[in-house]
């Protein structure tokens, strides 16, 4: 009975964490500063909180080799690009476009992962990648850079590609270090990389902007990530994968309720294809 209670509690915590992940894009829409400044604020706030958690937990921050330091710094640089392009996609189009295109990262993993880890490229993976790409084509209203939705999709695809690269790097790191230590190094590096934006990008910060960015960094990133990792205990990877796939759905619902953003028919159909294939890929991997 106690085990069942713990399982149900962890399931609830997983949903709360994923709900917070999905909330970040919507909160960013209420912020008027540029995408790079939102990304900077996010990684600064989250890395500070993660450092505090690591200090309280007395975690060892030392890595095993110079190679690991170099690789995790490169991954942090990629993370800086990832978050900037994610918020840029949302700002020029909509939360639905930003979150749906972000879900296409299995498309890039299909071809990059076998090359990096010297694994055989599976025909079924290529087939699912083709379907994913078809979902993207369905979502694109017209092939014109004057269309905000199309531009948002391009930014979203770049965001998706960088996430795929980060996923491969984290596959290597997850076998060697704690999740929060990996996240601390990556987000700390991203913060350093994006810091020059404070002096390059002219920004007028309102109280609403500072509050929104801090909420995204502390609550939607550091707290949500820590909650998600701890809640995965005693929960099957397949179950966690299904719940994680709800992030885009939650994001679209939040945008509908708070921003009045109603996805178009193309976005709904294309999004259904992309999310379906992405979730299938996640469950296949988890299984």
Q: Which residues contact 67 (CB under 8 A, 6 or more apart)?
A: none
C-alpha 233/C-alpha 226 separation (Å) is: 12
Q: Is the pLDDT of residue 279 over 70?
A: no
* Cα atoms found within 13 Å of the Cα of residue 260, Cβ hemisphere only: 0
From the list 71, 77, 52, the residue with the least C-alpha distance to 190 is 77
CA distances from 222 to 123, 183, 215 (A): 38, 9, 10
- The predicted model gives 56-76 an average pLDDT of 90
What is the per-residue pLDDT across 80-131, written as a single tens digit (0 to 9) for each? 999 999 899 988 888 888 888 877 777 777 777 777 767 777 777 777 777 7
What is the structure's pLDDT at 194?
95
Q: Is the pLDDT of residue 135 over 70?
A: yes
From the list 103, 86, 21, the residue with the least C-alpha distance to 282 is 103
> Look-up: residue for tokens 């599976």?
122
Phi-psi region of 105 (alpha: psi -120 to 50; beta: other; left: phi over 0): alpha
C-alpha 117/C-alpha 126 separation (Å) is: 17
C-alpha 41/C-alpha 209 separation (Å) is: 10
CB 33 within 8 A of CB 209: yes
What is the per-residue pLDDT across 186-205, written as a single tens digit (0 to 9) for each? 989 999 999 999 888 888 88
- The predicted model gives 176-183 an average pLDDT of 82
* DSSP assignment letter at 178: -
Question: Can you give the residue ranges of every domain in the chain?
Answer: 2-286
C-alpha 226/C-alpha 238 separation (Å) is: 19
What's the pLDDT band for 286 if we cut at 50, 70, 90?
very low
Mean residue pLDDT of the chain comes to 81
Quick check: pTM over 0.85? no
SS3 assignment, position 23: helix
Q: Is the pLDDT of residue 7 over 50?
A: yes
Spell 69-104 as b/e; 16+ CB within 10 A means b: eebbbebbbbbbbbbbbbbbbbbbbbbbbbbbbbbb
What is the secondary structure of 165-213 as a DSSP string?
Answer: HHHHHHHHHTTTS-HHHHHHHHHHHHHHHHTTHHHHS-----HHHHHHH
The proportion of the chain whose per-residue pLDDT surpasses 70, expressed as a percent, equals 87
Q: Is the pLDDT of residue 171 over 90?
A: no
From the list 5, 34, 41, the residue with the least C-alpha distance to 211 is 41
Q: Is the pLDDT of residue 237 over 60?
A: no
């Amino acid at each position: 009975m106690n085990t069942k209670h713990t399982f149900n509690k962890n399931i609830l915590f997983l949903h709360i964490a994923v709900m917070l992940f999905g909330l970040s894009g919507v909160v960013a829409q209420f912020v008027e500063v540029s995408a790079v400044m939102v990304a900077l604020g996010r990684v600064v706030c989250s890395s500070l909180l993660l450092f505090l958690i690591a200090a309280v937990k007395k975690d060892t921050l030392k890595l095993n080799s110079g190679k690991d330091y170099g690789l995790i710094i490169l991954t942090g640089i990629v993370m800086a690009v990832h978050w900037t392009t994610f918020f840029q996609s949302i700002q020029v189009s909509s939360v639905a476009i930003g979150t749906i295109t972000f879900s296409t990262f299995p498309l890039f993993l299909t071809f990059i992962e076998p090359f990096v880890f010297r694994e055989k490229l599976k025909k079924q993976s290529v087939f699912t990648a083709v379907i994913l790409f078809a979902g993207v084509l369905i979502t694109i209203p017209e092939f014109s850079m004057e269309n905000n939705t199309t531009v948002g999709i391009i930014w979203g695809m770049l965001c998706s590609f960088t996430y795929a690269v980060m996923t491969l790097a984290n596959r290597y790191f997850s076998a060697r270090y704690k999740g929060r230590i990996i996240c601390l190094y990556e987000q700390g590096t991203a913060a350093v990389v994006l810091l020059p934006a404070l002096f390059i990008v002219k920004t007028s910060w309102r109280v609403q902007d500072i509050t929104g960015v801090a909420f995204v960094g502390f609550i939607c990133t550091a707290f949500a990530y820590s909650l998600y990792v701890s809640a995965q205990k005693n929960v099957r990877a397949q179950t966690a994968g299904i719940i994680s796939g709800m992030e885009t759905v939650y994001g679209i619902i939040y945008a509908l309720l708070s921003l009045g953003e109603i996805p178009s028919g193309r976005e709904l159909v294309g999004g259904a294809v992309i999310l379906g294939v992405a979730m299938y890929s996640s469950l296949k991997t988890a299984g």
